[in-house]
Amino acid sequence: MRTLIIAIIGAASAALAAAQARPLPGPDLDEIYQRLLPQIEKIPMFDHHAHPGFADDPNVDAMAAPPGSSPVRTRDTNPELVMAAQALWGYPYNDLSAEHTQWLIQKKAEVRKQRGNQYFSDILDKLNIEQGVANRAMMADYLDPKRFVWVFFADSFMWPFDNQREASRNGDEQVYIPLQGKMLHRWMAQAGLSRLPPNFSDYLRFVSQTLEENQRKGAIAQKFEVAYFRTTRFSDPTRDQAEAIYQRFVGGGVPSEAEYRTFQDYIFRYLVREGGRLHLPVHIHSAVGIGDYFNLSESNILNLENVLRDPRYQTTTFVMIHGGYPYDRQSIWLAAVKNVYLDTSETELLLYPSEFKKLLKQWLETFPEKVTFGTDCFPYNEALGAEESYWLGVESSRTALAAALAEMISEKEVTEAQALVLAHGYLHDNAVGIYQGKVH
Ligand SMILES: [Zn+2]
């Protein structure tokens, strides 16, 4: 697909040779937008990052949201959610008052009972999503595997020791770190281990076998949300260094922060390498995150540049989930690396379409074949469930995409035919090309 896009753009730039790109759109902008939007709505999408599930399902995420501040658009006071409820459920009211919200909760419960494991497939059908990622701790039997492909969490392999010090750093880590311990124990149970292997080689074997087992169960990628738990600057320790730390703490004792980071840096790179060997792409949360203590500078996407541009990891495909926002102007340049992709999920929920359009336009003008669509749907609260966040993600992305492409056409950067190829790439083809034969 990438070569196809390049070929089409190449041919078209010849056709456009006489037209110098203009810095302002012309009077045809609105008309082009109106023409593009219905065509974009007809493109079946692949959702590259999402957390489908019900609010009462503990397996939606490998961590839990601590009480923290949400940006205004993701609060349950967002009036767009009324439109989501109307579009998805025929909601008969114009507000989300506590009383009216009861109608919605009841309606969803009824439909859930009637439709069983087709409930979330119906949501995909309503939004024209052909297939979507389910980034979840474990898959749910209420998600049809024909429509939902699993991406599991791989962070917990980095927290095998006594985590007292790690959890006591702040209120967020008090919530997150015990859940990493729980996740690791689930992987151990899956491998039939009642305790950690006493030697490091066996620990690494357990890690690899878990990746392989998850792949056998249908997982298409491994996901890291490590930015929530520590810095994303990874040093490059030797195996001997990591082994010495493992041997010292596998039986107990609290590692110093420096020791724990050294061990984790090795394990992270081991997982990245295994991702290449197993053709199991690596998804990394690379944007701002929720909670009061999320450290924006320690999680800056550029911290990962040494890993992404490391020739040892050329066979590993990286997907930078949420595209590094708010460092999006920098992150697009990381997509210059042939095995690095960006995903726009969450960003289209944090920003309104008028602002998200600018981000998307800049990306599509730089490395369009590396930009992929995702909703980051998540059961945030009763009014903004996974269902409504699917809707908001899809609507925001489509309108921002149509607006970005309309400007690019009107400013003589691309033809309308090329713009539609870019739309197909962003909404479907670019991501599907990563998982040849596993998704469609
Ligand atoms: Zn997510």
The per-residue pLDDT string of the chain (440 residues; one tens digit each, 9 = 90 and over) reads 555 555 555 555 555 556 799 999 999 999 999 999 999 999 999 999 999 999 889 899 866 766 567 888 988 888 999 999 999 999 999 999 999 999 999 999 999 999 999 999 999 999 999 999 999 999 999 999 999 999 999 999 999 999 999 999 998 999 999 999 999 999 999 999 999 999 999 999 999 999 999 999 999 999 999 999 999 999 999 999 999 999 999 999 999 999 999 999 999 999 999 999 999 999 999 999 988 899 999 999 999 999 999 999 999 999 999 999 999 999 999 999 999 999 999 999 999 999 999 999 999 999 999 999 999 999 977 667 999 999 999 999 999 999 999 999 999 999 999 999 999 999 999 999 999 999 99
The C-alpha atoms of residue 222 and residue 214 are separated, in whole angstroms, by 9
Q: Are 278 and 216 in contact (CB under 8 A)?
A: no
Q: Which two tokens stand for residue 303?
A: 């911290």
CB within 8 Å of 155: residues ≥ 6 apart: 62, 180, 183, 224, 225, 226, 229
pLDDT for 56 = 87
- Distance from Cα 136 to the centre of ligand 1, integer Å: 9
pLDDT for 76 = 80
Global pTM reads: 0.94
- Distance from Cα 412 to the centre of ligand 1, integer Å: 35
CB within 8 Å of 217: residues ≥ 6 apart: 139, 150
**Any idea what DSSP says for residue 316?**
S
- Distance from Cα 322 to the centre of ligand 1, integer Å: 8
The C-alpha atoms of residue 387 and residue 53 are separated, in whole angstroms, by 9
- Distance from Cα 294 to the centre of ligand 1, integer Å: 15
The C-alpha atoms of residue 338 and residue 329 are separated, in whole angstroms, by 18
Helix runs in 24-170, H state only: 29-41, 80-89, 98-115, 119-127, 164-167
- Distance from Cα 382 to the centre of ligand 1, integer Å: 18
- Distance from Cα 385 to the centre of ligand 1, integer Å: 14
Angstrom CA distances, 269 to 158, 238, 287, 292, 427, stand at: 11, 11, 20, 28, 30
- Distance from Cα 229 to the centre of ligand 1, integer Å: 15
Q: Which two tokens stand for residue 318?
A: 């990286």
The amino acid that residue 287 corresponds to is A
pLDDT for 69 = 77
pLDDT for 291 = 84
SS3 (DSSP) at 387: helix
- Distance from Cα 139 to the centre of ligand 1, integer Å: 15
- Distance from Cα 415 to the centre of ligand 1, integer Å: 34
pLDDT for 10 = 53
- Distance from Cα 346 to the centre of ligand 1, integer Å: 7
The C-alpha atoms of residue 301 and residue 314 are separated, in whole angstroms, by 18
- Distance from Cα 198 to the centre of ligand 1, integer Å: 34
